[in-house]
Chains A and B, each alone.
Chain A
Amino acid sequence: DTAVSQTPKYLVTQMGNDKSIKCEQNLGHDTMYWYKQDSKKFLKIMFSYNNKELIINETVPNRFSPKSPDKAHLNLHINSLELGDSAVYFCASSQPGQAPGNTIYFGEGSWLTVV
């Protein structure tokens, strides 16, 4: 019974294509995130939604568009894929304010390879 689930786990696609990654959490959390982990293993936040409202939007190309139909789902759509988009994309959720700190739960990751 996975707490944060994302699909697909692996995705190989050609440059220029448009693709989506879906994420769902069953933890009842209000906040969801998308993180990108590149080849250098640096995990960097892209977006965060709190109860369907965008609260963090880092410097990310506008080819990336998150969508949150409800607080349990946060999908990531990527237009016109480029080689540099190849990375692992992690969805995550948390409940801000719960001690200690901001404990975050990650999905298993989506391995995107653009060829």
Chain B
Amino acid sequence: RKEVEQDPGPFNVPEGATVAFNCTYSNSASQSFFWYRQDCRKEPKLLMSVYSSGNEDGRFTAQLNRASQYISLLIRDSKLSDSATYLCVVFRMDSSYKLIFGSGTRLLVRP
């Protein structure tokens, strides 16, 4: 079982739609959580951090459920430019100090 799991998609939605992605993580020692965005043939870039109380950045809302060990990302009023792969990322500091990436969920927003 992968340490961070995501539905690969693709999620194909019309402009203006609301779409939600979920991610589960298996290591309860995980400390910090992030969503990264990766465009086709580009490097991953930080979209937003995920805080326990939930947080919002414009049209994007991230939530964390530590008890169930899952993270979500909600995108409202989807734009064509939101088309990308969204990577769920978990950070834990045990014997190592590293980020663990999910394999990503692909989003396609159509006109």
- Residues of chain A having any CB pair with chain B under 8 Å: 31, 33, 35, 40-45, 48, 50, 55-56, 90, 96, 100-104, 106-109
Given the known interface contacts A40-B103, A100-B32, A101-B34, the answer about A106 and B44 at a Cβ–Cβ threshold of 8 Å is yes
Which of B21-29, B64-72, B73-81, B91-99 sits within the interface? Answer: B91-99
Confirm or deny: B49 has a beta carbon within 8 angstroms of a beta carbon on chain A. yes
Please report the total number of B residues contacting A with Cβ < 8 Å: 23
- Residues of chain B having any CB pair with chain A under 8 Å: 8, 31-34, 41-46, 49, 85, 87, 91, 96-101, 103-104
Select which of B43, B87, B96, B97 is within 8 A of A108 by beta carbon: B43
The residue on A at minimum CB distance from B43 is A106
The residue on B at minimum CB distance from A35 is B101
Q: Are B97 and A43 in contact, CB atoms less than 8 angstroms apart?
A: no
Shortest Cβ-Cβ A-B pairs, 8 listed: A101-B32, A106-B43, A43-B101, A42-B103, A100-B49, A102-B91, A101-B91, A56-B96
Q: Are A109 and B34 in contact, CB atoms less than 8 angstroms apart?
A: no
28 A-B contact pairs sorted by A residue (CB < 8 Å): A31-B97, A40-B103, A41-B85, A41-B103, A41-B104, A42-B103, A43-B44, A43-B101, A44-B101, A45-B98, A45-B99, A48-B97, A48-B98, A50-B97, A55-B97, A56-B98, A90-B43, A96-B97, A100-B49, A101-B32, A101-B33, A101-B91, A102-B32, A102-B91, A102-B97, A102-B98, A107-B43, A109-B41
